[in-house]
Amino acid sequence: MPELPEVESVRRTLAPAMVGRRIDAVELRRPDLRAPFPRGFARRIAGHTVIALTRRAKYLLAVLSSGDTLLMHLGMSGAFRVIGTAGRGHGHEAAAGSDPHDHVVFHLDSGATVVFNDPRRFGVMDLLAPGELEEHPSVGGLGPEPLSEEFDDAALARACAGKRTSLKAALLDQRVVAGLGNIYVVEALHLAGLAPHRRASTIATPGGAPRDAASRLTAAIKQVLGKAIDRQTAADYRSDRFRVYDREGQRCLRRGCRGIIRRRTQAGRSSFYCPVCQR
Task: Convert the pLDDT of each residue in 239-273 to its tens digit.
Answer: 458 999 999 999 999 999 999 999 999 989 999 99
Q: Is the pTM of this model over 0.85?
A: yes
89-126 per-position pLDDT tens digit: 443 334 445 799 999 999 999 999 999 999 999 999 99
Q: Which of the residues are catalytic?
A: 2-3, 58, 269
Which residues are CB-contacts of 134 (< 8 A; sequence separation ≥ 6)?
A: 140
Calculate the alpha carbon distances from 66 to 51, 133, 195 in Å: 9, 14, 48
Check: CB of residue 210 under 8 Å from CB of residue 203: yes
Residues 163 and 42: their CA atoms lie apart, in Å, by: 44
Q: Parse the chain into domains and list their residue ranges.
A: 4-135, 153-273
Check: CB of residue 260 under 8 Å from CB of residue 251: yes
CATH architecture of 153-273: Orthogonal Bundle (1.10)
Question: Under CATH, domain 4-135 is a member of which superfamily?
Answer: MutM-like, N-terminal (3.20.190.10)
Share of the chain above pLDDT 70, in %: 92
161-190 per-position pLDDT tens digit: 999 999 999 999 999 999 999 999 999 999
